Amino acid sequence: MSPGVQGLKPSFTLVPMEKTAKQKTNYGAVVEDLDLESITESDVKALSDAIWTHKVVVVKNQQHLQPIKQWELVTRFDPDAPLVHSHGDIKTFNEKGGILSRGRDVLSVPNAENVRIIGKGYLGDDHFGIKARSITKPLSHDWHDLPLSVEEFNKGHTRFQRWHIDAPLYARDPAWFTTLRCFKRPTAPNVTVHWDDGSGTKMDCEPGLTAFFSNVQTYGLMTEEEKRIADHSWVEYAPHPYQWMGDCRSNPTGLGVVSQGKEKALEDLQPYEEKDIKRYPMVWVNPVTGERAFMVHGICVRRAFFRSGPDQEPRVVDDVAEIRSWLKGIQERVLKPEYIMLPKVRDGDIVMWANYQMFHTAVDYPDYMGSRAMHQANIGASSGPVGPMPIPTIV
């Protein structure tokens, strides 16, 4: 599925991402000596391998990069992919994006439609042809079931927004990688991310960063029995999943939704095609390292098919509360400060991650800290995730 050229010698240097002694993260690398404006084909392949291997890679100092070059790089990572952003063109995304697009401005960069501008506040007098525009968006935590007061938020009490993979989970396969270029963000003062789940867990970080955890590590925290089930099981995502769950509310940690029966009935969704409904294995195998990642995007799952061996008849579960409860018990093990990393991207840096291995989320901050402008690009993959075992195509 991937170019798969492990062992290729890059012309650039990969340095492990800094971490504290307390952190148990086993991913992350930084590159300081690469110019993405004129990257060679062999370096594209080496960078692709580096992302699969290190999961999160920050390429420093790309201030000069033309936006279209970011899109070109994305297409070169997956040359057989259809030439469109994984969430479709901007019109489709704004019309059908459900909870992903509702209430916020999602802009494209002029002459680079598949590069999306995300962030908030004033973009600048002329941002690649976009004149004097401010981006507005709802507060990131406003879809959490347990409210966070504006007063607390303005004091720097924040939360993880929505742990996710960048994945339409309908019609197109998720991008192998996402690239996120930082134009500007505030760097001070620190905010404090609270779990607000009764555990008292919290962690400090700079404002405007993206948080990550590795689902290879999640898999590593599962019991042998859980691994056996996950290796042989699969999930079915709802058609137009972000419309389907668009009225649901999240746990305060941003991981998973609360089961309140707010999922839409299938007949209330926009028309959909049966063939476009996605069924993916619960475990996705890294094509370069062979590592297994527990990759279930619980907020969009409508049905799960559990089995413990290749010849077993699956137990079909369509009670989303039961599915979510099982997922929560597993996925929350990695939701601890020591497994979470927020790479400190500076203006001009690009962070790229293995979307088939990681969960990520935004972390909002009070507006008075300053505006944030990022360019995001990825491409619906030419081939989807592969599990450790084949799953039946029709059940």
Q: How far is the CB of 351 from Fe ion (least distance, A)?
A: 11
Total residues found in the chain within this entry: 395
Minimum CB distance to Fe ion smaller for 166 or for 291: 166
Q: Say if CB 238 and CB 302 are below 8 A apart.
A: yes
Minimum CB distance to Fe ion smaller for 52 or for 177: 177
Q: How far is the CB of 355 from Fe ion (least distance, A)?
A: 8
Give the whole-angstrom CA distance, residue 294 versus residue 350.
26
**Does position 49 bind Fe ion by CB under 5 A?**
no
Find the angle CA(362)-CA(254)-CA(282) to the nearest 5 degrees: 100
- Which of 43, 166, 231, 364 touches Fe ion by CB under 5 A? 166
Cis bond upstream, residue 388 (ω within 30): no
Question: Using the 8-state DSSP alphabet, how is residue 140 labeled?
Answer: G
Minimum CB distance to Fe ion smaller for 166 or for 231: 166
Q: How far is the CB of 200 from Fe ion (least distance, A)?
A: 28
Q: How far is the CB of 77 from Fe ion (least distance, A)?
A: 17
Q: Say if CB 326 and CB 40 are below 8 A apart.
A: no
Alpha-carbon distances, residue 113 vs 83, 173, 239, 329 (angstroms): 11, 19, 25, 40
Chain residue whose CB lies nearest Fe ion = 166
Minimum CB distance to Fe ion smaller for 87 or for 324: 87
**Residues binding Fe ion: number (CB under 5 A):** 1
Beta-bridge mates of residue 374 = 118, 182
Contact stretch for Fe ion (CB under 5 A) within 41-49, 166-174, 201-209, 383-391: 166-174
Q: In a 10 Å sphere around its CB, with 0-12 CB exposed, 13-18 middle and 19+ buried, how is residue 53 labelled?
A: middle
Contact stretch for Fe ion (CB under 5 A) within 64-72, 163-171, 270-278, 318-326: 163-171
Minimum CB distance to Fe ion smaller for 43 or for 166: 166
Residue 287, classed as helix, strand or coil, is coil
Q: How far is the CB of 165 from Fe ion (least distance, A)?
A: 8
Positions in the binding site for Fe ion (CB under 5 A): 166
